[in-house]
Structure 1
């Protein structure tokens, strides 16, 4: 397994999850610069475009990438309404053009798995930054979208965000056994163990949000 990262639009991370045994790959969050992503994917069999959530900076290039590669689009089912209604992508709040509507080929639920060549990718539902946040786990790697960053977390003041819900999602990640490399939607790579130790948000619990 190989992970290749590319910074798109100067601030959003896109990732290529590559199965070196089969030359198959998945693309995580093609937010901008579709032609760059398409060039980088040339020579690979692209099985899926995986979306961690439906904000414009993570999905705006997805339509072009899908058309060029023949990949299937996968996202958590809670992101569907945001994907088919581009106004929900929050692009207008940042003065950006709304992305084209997207209809996933695969609507994921918590714990569902996908095959990328010989690799198995597991979906972990982690709402809080938006309604449809989904982390993807493959081996010892987590693609965390905008839920977990190095030393920080995603904002919760946008439509669909919820700070108590985000704290619950962080607890879900914190309780995963062992350590993982964490590839976030923005900023540098980190590890789950480093965030367990040093990220203050992972050590906050909103007990009122639990039954």
Structure 2
């Protein structure tokens, strides 16, 4: 399995292209569908599915055109359907934790509300696509509509229990960095450390 980060848009967004045996998944495609289409074509990839970590506009912007072009419905947690602003015909809503087999990809969707009510992290192998839940050294904002600080702490604690070698691929490259490991975040991320400390009262 190969993972490529594609930086698109003015907000340091990360779209992830996950490939294996000529097949592809896109996670949080936004902003520039022409660039993504060109990448798929140049690499001769068969796009099997699109998955969103949450519904904020900067993670879904203009994705409708790509979804319609490929005849796909994007996976999104049902609590973020309205937030996404995308029409129902291009979405495949689901509720809660999921295990999906998409071509050669085993996808485990972990509900991680806090930044949004329907926020999730997407685990494929030992790669965890965290959207705006977990960043290197930080976590997502919890002062927005449908955000919830207590739910964020619960979500960060849940992520802290993943194996040490779980690699993080965050939804933005703030400060030029979007990758880390659970082991490192568990030791150094103040938000995750506080969630671990508070686990008994969450």
C-alpha distance in 2, partners of 1:104/1:113?
Answer: 21
Could you tell me which residue of structure 2 aligns to residue 31 of structure 1? 30
Could you tell me which residue of structure 1 aligns to residue 5 of structure 2? 5
Change (3 A) 1:12 1:191: same
Could you tell me which residue of structure 2 aligns to residue 160 of structure 1? 146
Change (3 A) 1:209 1:115: same
Change (3 A) 1:104 1:186: same
C-alpha distance in 1, partners of 2:107/2:3?
Answer: 13
Cα RMSD, aligned residues only:
1.8
Provide, for residues 63-110 of structure 1, a one-character-per-residue CA deviation record: whole Å limited to 9, x for no partner.
011122233310112212323xx3xxxxxxxxxxxxx53555432333
Could you tell me which residue of structure 1 aligns to residue 186 of structure 2? 196
Could you tell me which residue of structure 1 aligns to residue 121 of structure 2? 135
Could you tell me which residue of structure 2 aligns to residue 183 of structure 1? 169
Change (3 A) 1:104 1:78: farther
Task: Give how far 1:123 is off.
Answer: 0.4
Task: Give how far 1:182 is off.
Answer: 0.5
TM-score between the two structures when normalised by the length of structure 1: 0.85
Q: Is the 8 A contact 2:5 2:17 kept in 1?
A: yes
Q: Is the 8 A contact 1:74 1:104 kept in 2?
A: no
TM-score between the two structures when normalised by the length of structure 2: 0.88
Partner of 2:55: helix, strand, or coil? Answer: coil
Change (3 A) 1:69 1:138: same
C-alpha distance in 1, partners of 2:135/2:190?
Answer: 12
Partner of 1:131: helix, strand, or coil? Answer: coil
Task: Give how far 1:61 is off.
Answer: 2.3
Partner of 1:204: helix, strand, or coil? Answer: helix
The number of equivalent residue pairs is: 193
The 5 A counterparts of 1:33-182 are 33-42=32-41, 43-83=44-84, 86=85, 100-103=86-89, 105-182=91-168
Q: Is the 8 A contact 2:154 2:199 kept in 1?
A: no
For structure 1, which runs of at least 5 residues remain unmatched after alignment? 87-99
C-alpha distance in 1, partners of 2:39/2:19?
Answer: 12
Q: Is the 8 A contact 1:109 1:123 kept in 2?
A: no
